[in-house]
Amino acid sequence: MVEEIAKKTKKASFKLQNATTEEKNDALLKIKEALIEEKDKIMEANKIDVEKAKKNNLKSSLIDRLLITEKRFNSMVNGIDVVIELPDPCGEVIEEIRRPNGLLIKKVRVPIGVVGIIYESRPNVTCDATILCLKSGNSVILRGGSEAINSNKTIVSAIRKGISRSVLPEDCVSFIDRPERELVYKMLELDEYIDLIIPRGSEQMIKAIKEKSKIPVIGHGKGLCHLYVDKDADIDMAVRITLNAKVQRPGVCNAIETLLVHESIASEFLPKVQSELEKHNVELRGCEKTRKILTSIKDATEEDWWTEYLDLILSIKIVESVDEAISHINFYGSKHSEAIVTNNNENAKKFLNYVDASTVYHNASTRFTDGGEFGMGAEIGISNQKLHARGPMGLKELTTYKYVVYGNGQIRE
């Protein structure tokens, strides 16, 4: 089953790679129209998935990832307009060299080919991944989690309906609609047909995929994100950013899990931030110094510093300097998103330069690490690797390049 899907998707990719920008944009517009037409079916299918998740006692934060609200549906379809307006990366000349022998060498951006997306929970990924792959000239094989199977099936059905109204082949978007894990492992063996695997989900899932895949993998790893409140921070700003970074959507990878606070500001800042966080039922866990100020909170263990909670839990550690904060982040962090709140430009510069992460912030929430917020329209994932893409992955990150060489009879001596 999976191999047959991969063959069809590969075949479709050759036509898609040579589609014009106008043809791709027309297909995206048709997809948007079909999604709007099928909205009621999509919302009903999502309702079934959410009710099943509740019966299975999934955490509230994971149910939130699964849920398609009116606002999220509108955001999903409106993101298509943004991607349509973005420049088509395919065919861009990255570099051009004229050699002494007259050869003209052009480094040209081209699609990767066939991208396999393996993801959990969030059904909006089905749409986001599809529109980015199509605009960048890539066919896509989608394999969502079993918890969102009805939502994903309905979204893919609408997407293929839209594509069928365009000149692009329907099989440039494929979906594996069975939940068996063995099908994922089979997919990972098909390096003859699939050029790249992008996993989005738990750390354990991504690790297993990297170990078993014959295909290159760009890992959307865990988001163990930190916020450091420096000695020269604006306290009101720090409280607002902490609250947003932890509470707005605690079940996503760019929410903070650990709060680091400079010792000289801790006694003033911590009670204020505790008061706000506890209004949202955030469970706090602190180091020994923190618990001397916030006496009612739980003790933070070594395990807490390593944990991506994806829930309303926050660990807090008091540090002596920006250097200690940087050391803590570089040791325990996942190279995802890290932030400093300070009015001290030297400390901000040191933090931004020395923290090893895909995205670093000065006086802003980590929740902005997102393709839409970065002007990409959507994202296919957030890579905390260093090759070949890092941070939110948009259109350009879904391309590679080839050298196109023009001559007039040159031969090598």
pLDDT at 67: 95
- Whether this model's pTM surpasses 0.85: yes
Q: Is residue 217 part of a domain?
A: yes
pLDDT at 194: 98
Triad 358, 364, 368: Cα angle to 5°: 55
- Asked whether residue 194 falls in the same domain as residue 153, the answer is yes
Q: Is residue 380 part of a domain?
A: no
Q: Is 92:355 a contact under the CB 8 Å cutoff?
A: no
| Domain-ending residue, one of 352, 368, 384 | 368
pLDDT at 61: 78
What's the CATH number where 255 sits? Answer: 3.40.309.10
Distances (CA, A) of 386 to 54, 148, 171, 335, 359: 37, 30, 31, 10, 12
Q: Is residue 412 part of a domain?
A: no
- Asked whether residue 214 falls in the same domain as residue 332, the answer is no
Element (H, E) at 227: strand 225-229
- Asked whether residue 361 falls in the same domain as residue 339, the answer is yes
Q: Is residue 285 part of a domain?
A: yes
* Alpha carbons 252 and 301: distance in angstroms, whole number: 23
- Asked whether residue 243 falls in the same domain as residue 211, the answer is no
Q: Is residue 322 part of a domain?
A: yes
| Domain-ending residue, one of 175, 206, 221 | 221
Count other Cβ atoms within 10 Å, centred on residue 147: 22
* Alpha carbons 245 and 341: distance in angstroms, whole number: 12
- Asked whether residue 146 falls in the same domain as residue 183, the answer is yes
DSSP string for 94-121: EEEEE-TTS-EEEEEEEE--EEEEEE-S
pLDDT at 205: 87
Count other Cβ atoms within 10 Å, centred on residue 103: 13
- Asked whether residue 177 falls in the same domain as residue 281, the answer is no
Put the strands of the sheet holding 173-175 in their side by side order.
Answer: 173-175, 139-143, 114-119, 196-200
Q: Is residue 410 part of a domain?
A: no
Residue 81, C-beta contacts closer than 8 angstroms, at least 6 positions apart: 32
- Asked whether residue 156 falls in the same domain as residue 244, the answer is no
Q: Is residue 279 part of a domain?
A: yes
- Asked whether residue 199 falls in the same domain as residue 94, the answer is yes
- Asked whether residue 217 falls in the same domain as residue 234, the answer is no
* Alpha carbons 115 and 263: distance in angstroms, whole number: 47
Count of domains for the chain: 2
Measured in whole angstroms, the distance separating CA 157 from the mean position of its chain's CA atoms is 23
* Alpha carbons 157 and 180: distance in angstroms, whole number: 20
| Domain-ending residue, one of 221, 250, 265 | 221
Q: Is residue 392 part of a domain?
A: no
Paired residues of 384 in beta bridges: none
CA atoms within 13 A on the CB side of 122: 23
Range of the domain at 142: 2-221
* Alpha carbons 389 and 385: distance in angstroms, whole number: 7
Phi, psi of 150 (to 5 degrees): -70, -40
Q: Which of 247, 270, 245, 266 is nearest to 256 (CA)?
A: 245
Reading the chain (413 residues) residue by residue, the pLDDT tens digits are 899 999 999 999 999 999 999 999 999 999 999 999 999 999 999 999 999 999 999 888 789 889 999 999 999 999 999 999 999 999 999 999 999 999 999 999 999 999 999 998 889 999 999 999 999 999 999 999 999 999 999 999 999 999 999 999 999 999 999 888 899 999 999 999 999 999 988 888 888 999 999 999 997 778 999 999 999 999 999 999 999 999 999 988 999 999 999 999 999 999 999 999 999 999 999 999 999 999 999 999 999 999 999 999 999 999 999 999 999 999 999 999 999 999 999 999 999 999 999 999 999 999 999 988 998 888 888 998 888 899 999 999 999 999 999 999 999 98
- Asked whether residue 205 falls in the same domain as residue 302, the answer is no
Distances (CA, A) of 288 to 285, 298, 314, 315, 367: 10, 10, 15, 12, 28
pLDDT at 222: 83
Q: Are strands 313-319 and 256-262 parallel, antiparallel or unpaired?
A: parallel
- Asked whether residue 164 falls in the same domain as residue 140, the answer is yes
- Asked whether residue 236 falls in the same domain as residue 211, the answer is no
* Alpha carbons 323 and 195: distance in angstroms, whole number: 41
What's the CATH number where 123 sits? Answer: 3.40.605.10
